[in-house]
Structure 1
Amino acid sequence: MTDPIIIAVPKGRILEEAVPLLMRAGIVPEAAFSDESSRALRFHTQTPGIDLIRVRAFDVATFVAHGAAQLGIVGSDVLAEFDYSELYAPVDLGIGHCRLSVAEPAQMAAGDDPRGWSHIRIATKYPHVTAQHFEARGVQAECVKLNGAMELAPLLGLAPRIVDLVSSGRTLKENGLVEVEVIAEVSSRLIVNRAAFKTRAEIVPLVERFRRAVEMRDAA
């Protein structure tokens, strides 16, 4: 018996937009998937041979890169941070739109010009992307790795600036911060394990189902 195809989907913000797309692609999760009180992490679907796992966004890429899942849905920010050679990202799903930005206290920003930076200290969960971005500009970035509560870093003196995902900007504003530079526009992609793509024939038509689902949604 062939092992099921496992699709890794992210908890949180992207999941809400991903579910209608999964259903357009003919992948309907079992009822427990929508039960917010459920502690389960793996779920069956109405399609025999396809299961879903629900993990942290940053872990989606790791599960797929190492072959524990064959497909996944993840933001382009995560792909850029990890840069796994084992991943193929054939479809931009057009969901999870936001941007990866540099922010600092509004008071600091009033007299600051990013073009004049030479060495900066930044709190972020994207140290690779951040360092790479500033290195290309000849700026030395000292990155302090945090996994959350980024907005506290300037307030408590950990680092004067942060690099984080920004959608509406409300969280920044409520913590006295403003965007001063956009590093990248972000959207979510369908990712596939390269080895599985070559060896499991059922993955190619599955990718096409996602591509058609995106086209149908955009044409609606």
Structure 2
Amino acid sequence: MPKNYLTIALPKGKLLTDSVALLTEAGLDCRSVENDSRKLLFDLPGSEARIIICRPTDIPTYVEQGAADIGFVGKDTVIEQNKDVAELVDLKFGYCRFVVAMPEENLPQKLPDGLYDLSVLNHKRAATKFPRVAQLFFNEHGMQVTPIKLHGNIELAPRVGLAEMIVDIVSTGKTLRENKLAEVAQILEATSRMIANRVSYRVKYERIQGLAEKIRVLVQ
């Protein structure tokens, strides 16, 4: 492969369309990339680049290990995975929020500033797909909370006594309301990011930084 050849890891699912559109605007010929295809690798004609399609949670690993030079992935995954990658650009799409939520009938009292009194959650359990994010948040508040790692149906945990609360990502909050849960604290907001393998970023600096600058201008 040419020295500046790029392998770009993009996420399966709803973020793929936005990612491909942005790369196309940045000058890469992505016409061969099909959102509903079973193919996982697409060569980009005339671009000295290829796209590989991965599960979002796997993209930081592909990038850290050098199987991909760059990747597009949610900030939530970047924080949770804690891989050794370079974060280059906030892509401004794929918005979501990390929140702490509890059953509506068990909400803590509110403090004078209007926020919920989270101290009652000390020494409790939090069901989550993101145990590192949860642990960091509660540690910052001087609280000991036990994260319980689940892979799905997080909202069920407080209803069956597995945990007193959940830590999860939300966009509209509809799923919380349908399961009679209410947000008691916001942890952080997250959008998709462009990340790079640290060695690739040094060796292919002009190519990767040039693409990053084009994308940064496009998303402003």
- Alignment partners' CA distance in 2, 1:155 and 1:53: 39
CA displacement, residues 145-177 of structure 1 (integer Å, 9 cap, x when unaligned): 112221122223222211111100011111111
- How do 1:13-162 residues align onto structure 2 when only pairs under 5 Å count? 13-34=14-35, 36=36, 38-85=37-84, 87-109=85-107, 113-162=117-166
Shift, 1:31, TM fit: 3.8
Partner of 2:174: 170
- Alignment partners' CA distance in 2, 1:116 and 1:156: 20
TM-score, normalization: structure 1? Answer: 0.88
- Alignment partners' CA distance in 2, 1:140 and 1:116: 11
- Name the aligned partner's letter for residue 2 of structure 1: P
- Alignment partners' CA distance in 2, 1:206 and 1:23: 11
- Name the aligned partner's letter for residue 93 of structure 1: L
Extract unaligned runs of 5+ from structure 2: 110-115
Shift, 1:28, TM fit: 3.4
RMSD: 1.9
Shift, 1:89, TM fit: 1.0
Extract unaligned runs of 5+ from structure 1: 216-220
Helix, strand or coil at the partner of 1:181? strand
Percent identity among equivalent residues?
40
Q: Which moved more, 1:23-32 or 1:184-193?
A: 23-32
CA displacement, residues 102-130 of structure 1 (integer Å, 9 cap, x when unaligned): 11111112657313332120111111121
- Name the aligned partner's letter for residue 215 of structure 2: F
TM-score, normalization: structure 2? Answer: 0.88
- Name the aligned partner's letter for residue 70 of structure 2: L
Shift, 1:18, TM fit: 2.3
Is 1:187 aligned with 2:191?
yes
- Name the aligned partner's letter for residue 14 of structure 2: R
Aligned length: 212
